[in-house]
Amino acid sequence: MPETLRAYAYLARLDRPIGVWLLLWPGLWGIALAVGGVTQINARILILMGLFTIGAALMRAAGCVINDLWDRDLDKKVARTRVRPLPSGAVSVRGAIIFLAALLSGGMVILLQLNPLAIGLGFAVLPLIIAYPLMKRITWWPQLFLGLTFNFSALMGWAAVTGELHPAAFLLYVSAIIWTVGYDTIYAAQDIEDDLMAGIKSTAIKFGSKAKIYVAWLYAAMMIILLKSFMMAGAGMIAYAALLTAAMHLYFQVKNWAPDNPASALYAFKSNFITGLLIFLAILAI
């Protein structure tokens, strides 16, 4: 990438695509669950998935810019984040705001291709996107607010297919929220010492030495609620068997995670790409 654009690419976290996947998977789950599995996927659904993919990339980048604008002073106090473009001075505040406007404009173009209910949901999540970076200053549960924000695409995906919402979609959304609290607790474990010094709050600090146990319970609750969503959507035995592989993956993720080891935390966090993929394949098997 040209050097003049490289700082903006880092600002958008293009070097860390795991965030795009974690934002995208719930949307793809919602689409696939609403349509009823792989046998019902047609050209319209593939186009819809493509729109959600582009939208996830744009909105994840926008979310990163908003986060870094709010946190540019805090980020200077944390070893892992002080080299980011805003706290390091590689991108100016004015440049970041212009970049954010471009990203949001692109996201708006994608959103307006959807039906009215999905568009309405897209606007409804904007306050959460803007407010989320503040949560780490006022609550020990910023991961919960991230889950509420990050997984709105599960509802949007279902709505984009059917033009309405169903209890199975809400259960899918809740399960994804719990998943996010779990994996972002693992992610936050990398920064506990720096966060304590900077006054940043997180579930990783809140859970303390019992973080591994709490994450295990969160993942168990996620799978139970997801199972209920599958039942309401009329899943068959193949889908349930496929969902079991996702549950086993989460089991080994927690089992092998060493909370005191930042490298282990990052590896476990990134492995949630596989979790999302396995759940998507299970939904396709419905």
Burial 101-116 (b: 16+ CB within 10 A, else e): eebbebbeebbeebee
Cα angle, residue 107 at apex, residues 102 and 109 outer, rounded to 5°: 100
* Chain segment 110-152, per-residue pLDDT in tens: 999 999 999 999 999 989 988 888 898 899 999 999 999 999 9
* Chain segment 259-276, per-residue pLDDT in tens: 999 999 999 999 999 999
3-state helix, strand, coil in the chain (%, to 5): 80, 0, 20
**Top-confidence residue, 160 or 195:** 160
SS3 12: coil
Contact status, residue 266 vs residue 189, Cβ threshold 8 Å: no
pLDDT band at 76 (very low <50, low <70, confident <90, very high): confident
Q: Which CATH architecture has domain 3-284?
A: Orthogonal Bundle (1.10)
Sign (positive/negative) of CA torsion 172, 144, 275, 150? positive
The residues, ordered by sequence, that sit 6+ positions from 200 with a Cβ below 8 Å of its Cβ are 74, 78, 136, 137, 191, 194
Contact status, residue 272 vs residue 253, Cβ threshold 8 Å: yes
d(CA 200, CA 153): 27
d(CA 185, CA 203): 6
Note the pLDDT of residue 71. 81
Instruction: Give, in order, the Cα–Cα distances in Å from 210 to each of 166, 187, 253.
Output: 36, 15, 16
Mean pLDDT of 74-98: 84
Sign (positive/negative) of CA torsion 196, 81, 16, 47? positive
